[in-house]
Structure 1
């Protein structure tokens, strides 16, 4: 069969799809009333907005003759509007391959607009899927893309005003709609096409629609204004009580929705304009921090339990590939370590345009928040011992942290501290390919001399950084200050360790071994440091 076979006596080759009647399936009245020509005041502030986008229509039309393409476009337009209009939806915007519909309720009727909006979305997917089968049959001998639809549905604020004449010439009710609700519906449609979900709705909309709408995966997304929105995948319907519809019909409906989503295009790099970040399986609570290529969120897992921290890396940009390698390395290095002084890493995943690591949440924040003043020396020894214990665990796994600093030591509610942020850590068995020989990696205030000079690095570099932190805990300030990074690095390499404040000289031998310029003069390992700490603490008690 050729594309020209799409024409049938100048009429559309696509017969109306054989979906079950909406009245029978959903139990709604499709009456439109007779007030179409009377201008009305804006509808209530809350409405349900449905935005549907058909994909690959243009590509299919390119394979057809002009009249066949026109017939197909007309049929798509009809299908996009049919279910919404029959369920008392009103058309706000319309294109050849997309439609925005609004569902409202008269003030004197119980609110059913969320239910009708989601039911219309389900019926629309069903009809587009049947139209896609018809296209496949007509073009079975011609390679062609698959017709598919993605729909976003949101119950939200918006102003809906009836247009003069209230009709588009086909009897469809036309309105003007503005507001946040319709924009979020558009965002949800984009989420659906990116995740390859046929229908995406906000969590509140699904609840308002009642228990007949079934749902699958869920997640949360950050909107452009920095707020968060829970969303869920719509997977089908269950029969209403007393329904005589055969149960297998609803199974077939779910299969149709699943078949449609398998043909959606999915995320395309550079296409994430509507949303900042979205992740399946979590409800975002708030943003904790923002960097040049990563963000940190507090999120609640859908399965319950304690909140997790999601460390999110954006994949786009010139350094996306190298950043991703380091990001994946961080999880690979730490996931197998279980130690009270190492942050727990739960899992790693990929979302639309981003990779993320789910890790333990530390409500008390960073060790940095406790510094800036002199700590009691025994409190400093308490933290020193815990950090050394964490280093012993990671070093035993063959890992060198290489960026140890107070910001990367986190505090639990019980006062226990744990090592975190291993983004530039390296397994001792790895070749120096991720930073390059001679490159300086780390935070200059806590950098070891061998890191400052681009030398070979092992676990003793972390012990030097720990020594700098120990000095800061005891003295209330960092050991070295300079007006430039170059001068600061020179001091780490050449300058002696400053003296501690009066009364703390008993800590200086310990500090001298931690901050020795030559790694050979430092403690051989974190375990040896822990043994020395036992002696120091015992000696102060005698």
Structure 2
């Protein structure tokens, strides 16, 4: 319902207007003078204000000026009531920012017509703003989609003037351009809400040094920030615009350093890539274009200087510098600017170069200290609102881009144009199961084949699947061992998640078991799996699902342990974060379960060793040690049945199998290392002799 504030000191007029508008279905609040009207406006935030001019304590003009200066109420539509022949008041009111006026006395029809006209105007402005936001969000979404696909990034910042914009002023200024490096890599690992939170916190921190150093026309586009520093715009500081821009850039770098600490605490254990920003600075002529009405206009700095600052920001990643400034900026900044590297960049066209420098510090003079810290702090609320809107829009755009990419995977078929995702090119679908699609892909940087697992994480029934999916990456990203599968990358949208991992063209161990294995090959496989278990156990991880299908073969004959989807950390705090398994649940594959897993008891590293013993028996004999017609009977065998005997040809390895498959964990090898030592000292040596 539309809320209208009536501010009128004449009781008869006020009550009459209230009565007429209530009959039309409007929500009405009222005040008897400008001071009360301003208080009610701040408390109620009405859609429209109708106010008399001549009132005690605060008149209509003063109230209007206070409303236009308020960050929250500034765009509220205001209609002033004036005397019929008071042309001066009309002009003053319109100049002060009134949207319309109505001369007294007025009829009910005149009031309603004027009111409808204002509401329609307000609706057009809101629709225009909403359309512009949608257009910008779609532009960002396309840009992020191209970035995820590995193609050249288009004009992500949309620096061309908006449609209908007209030139307002042309100034000599220094333009600051900043961007977050690898933003999509960050956003992939977070939800939309978390991305918005990340950006809001980031912009809140880096805007402070920009505002304090006189930055104006701040524009937030995606993960980027643009600001203009001009000598003509700031009268309170005699410092050169270029010097203030350098001070702001260095302040942003310091704020980013503090922000990294916040990021690490807020998103601990999420595997976020290192956070870094790039900043470009350039001096020259800047055109300020504007779009909208006098009271509702958006200003956009445009021109070659703006484009060049954006180019320098982009070059910061190539150069591995945080702040890149053109030689023009250095010439205008004065003494005391500390530089690191110096080079030339190709700009605009071939064989046209610009000298640039890395800015690493600024020796502050007494004048710097006196005038460098206060200019536009009064715009903090306005900037904060812009930051919030941009953060939410960017979160939707980048998550929408990734969502589109992952959704396209479901319909991917051989012969289609290759799909790309963050440096990976899909070649074919190699499997699916439940909510997971598995694709063979190529890492474009070096042509390495990888497996891309994509999980549909939408719906209420998927929380456990998503938890295990996240857990698998979290665990493996901490392990670098030749006998453990390599994980290259992970990303998320709100509805999908993916993991890029090592591809094994020779498949898993099951095929080799079916073909038959020599004792020496069995021992070698057991040894390598034990090395993998040693590596994960040292990091407090229990695999819990050791079986031939999770032991992958490489072309050189070595093997790697894979599929950590139900692995579990032995640290209590990680137990709570990484798994939803309840005490008493049976997890793992029944044929390879340890007695404690079969009975739902506490699981230890020796549980993995039992499963390795079952695998060893199967590799030597071609059959599993325990088989049964029902699951309960199979579990009972694991709990109480004695370990079967190996064929006579493998009798030398029976003590190893017996110890691995002991019913009590305390009777098994104390660790994978103890098993490896046993092989080195005895059974392995005998087996190798037999092989010769």
User: 1:469 corresponds to which residue?
Assistant: 615
Is structure 2 residue 362 aligned with structure 1 residue 417? no
Contact 1:149–1:198 under 8 Å retained in 2: no
Q: Deviations over 1:182-215 (max 9, x none)?
A: xxxxxxxxxx68x8335867999x89xxxx9778
User: 2:642 corresponds to which residue?
Assistant: 496
User: 1:21 corresponds to which residue?
Assistant: none
Is structure 2 residue 678 aligned with structure 1 residue 536? no
Is structure 2 residue 426 aligned with structure 1 residue 284? yes
Contact 2:148–2:422 under 8 Å retained in 1: no
Is structure 2 residue 666 aligned with structure 1 residue 517? no
**3-state SS of the aligned residue for 1:320?**
helix
Q: Check 1:498–1:350 CA distance in 2 against 1; reply closer, same or farther (3 A cut).
A: same
Contact 2:529–2:560 under 8 Å retained in 1: yes
User: 1:296 corresponds to which residue?
Assistant: 438
Q: Deviations over 1:307-337 (max 9, x none)?
A: 2222222221223333322222222222122
Match of 2:142 among 176, 194, 197: 197
Match of 2:134 among 127, 148, 156: 148
Alpha-carbon distance in structure 2 between the residues aligned to 1:379 and 1:304: 33
Alpha-carbon distance in structure 1 between the residues aligned to 2:633 and 2:643: 15
**3-state SS of the aligned residue for 1:299?**
strand
Instruction: State the Cα distance separating 1:416 from its structure 2 match.
Output: 0.8
Alpha-carbon distance in structure 2 between the residues aligned to 1:384 and 1:339: 16
**3-state SS of the aligned residue for 2:408?**
coil
The 5-angstrom pairing of residues 47-58 of structure 1 reads none
Q: Check 1:203–1:313 CA distance in 2 against 1; reply closer, same or farther (3 A cut).
A: closer
- Scaled by the length of structure 2, the TM-score of the pair is 0.44
Instruction: State the Cα distance separating 1:484 from its structure 2 match.
Output: 2.1
Q: What RMSD, in angstroms, separates the aligned Cα atoms of the two structures?
A: 4.2
Query: Which is higher, the Rg of structure 1 or of structure 2?
Result: 2
Is structure 2 residue 472 aligned with structure 1 residue 325? no
User: 2:633 corresponds to which residue?
Assistant: 487
The 5-angstrom pairing of residues 215-294 of structure 1 reads 247=304, 263=393, 265-266=396-397, 267=399, 275-276=408-409, 279-294=421-436
Contact 1:285–1:297 under 8 Å retained in 2: yes
Is structure 2 residue 532 aligned with structure 1 residue 390? yes
Aligned residues between the structures: 346
Alpha-carbon distance in structure 2 between the residues aligned to 1:64 and 1:474: 86
Match of 2:503 among 352, 361, 367: 361
Contact 2:606–2:668 under 8 Å retained in 1: yes
Alpha-carbon distance in structure 1 between the residues aligned to 2:588 and 2:614: 13
Contact 2:490–2:497 under 8 Å retained in 1: yes
Instruction: State the Cα distance separating 1:505 from its structure 2 match.
Output: 1.7
Q: Check 1:457–1:494 CA distance in 2 against 1; reply closer, same or farther (3 A cut).
A: same
Instruction: State the Cα distance separating 1:444 from its structure 2 match.
Output: 0.5
Q: Check 1:443–1:284 CA distance in 2 against 1; reply closer, same or farther (3 A cut).
A: same
Alpha-carbon distance in structure 2 between the residues aligned to 1:502 and 1:330: 40
User: 1:227 corresponds to which residue?
Assistant: none
User: 2:514 corresponds to which residue?
Assistant: 372
User: 1:314 corresponds to which residue?
Assistant: 456
Q: Check 1:64–1:287 CA distance in 2 against 1; reply closer, same or farther (3 A cut).
A: farther
Contact 1:366–1:408 under 8 Å retained in 2: yes
Alpha-carbon distance in structure 1 between the residues aligned to 2:533 and 2:146: 46
Alpha-carbon distance in structure 2 between the residues aligned to 1:213 and 1:399: 44
User: 2:594 corresponds to which residue?
Assistant: 448
Instruction: State the Cα distance separating 1:280 from its structure 2 match.
Output: 3.3
Instruction: State the Cα distance separating 1:250 from its structure 2 match.
Output: 6.1
**3-state SS of the aligned residue for 1:355?**
strand
Q: Check 1:516–1:260 CA distance in 2 against 1; reply closer, same or farther (3 A cut).
A: closer
User: 1:169 corresponds to which residue?
Assistant: none
Alpha-carbon distance in structure 2 between the residues aligned to 1:506 and 1:317: 53
Q: Check 1:478–1:64 CA distance in 2 against 1; reply closer, same or farther (3 A cut).
A: farther
Q: Check 1:526–1:338 CA distance in 2 against 1; reply closer, same or farther (3 A cut).
A: same
Q: Check 1:261–1:523 CA distance in 2 against 1; reply closer, same or farther (3 A cut).
A: closer
Q: Check 1:4–1:390 CA distance in 2 against 1; reply closer, same or farther (3 A cut).
A: same
Q: Deviations over 1:14-38 (max 9, x none)?
A: xxxxxxxxxxxxxxxxxxxxxxxxx
Q: Check 1:440–1:262 CA distance in 2 against 1; reply closer, same or farther (3 A cut).
A: closer
**3-state SS of the aligned residue for 2:683?**
helix
Q: 1 or 2, which has the higher helix percentage?
A: 2
**3-state SS of the aligned residue for 1:275?**
helix
Q: Check 1:442–1:274 CA distance in 2 against 1; reply closer, same or farther (3 A cut).
A: closer
Contact 1:449–1:492 under 8 Å retained in 2: yes
Alpha-carbon distance in structure 2 between the residues aligned to 1:64 and 1:324: 51
Alpha-carbon distance in structure 2 between the residues aligned to 1:335 and 1:198: 29
Q: Deviations over 1:210-242 (max 9, x none)?
A: xx97789999xxxxxxxxxxxxx9x9xxxxxxx
User: 2:128 corresponds to which residue?
Assistant: 135
Alpha-carbon distance in structure 2 between the residues aligned to 1:504 and 1:421: 30
Unaligned runs of at least 5 residues, structure 1: 6-62, 73-130, 137-143, 152-191, 220-232, 236-244
Q: Deviations over 1:256-312 (max 9, x none)?
A: xxx99984644579x979634684332222222212122222222343341222222
Alpha-carbon distance in structure 2 between the residues aligned to 1:494 and 1:390: 28
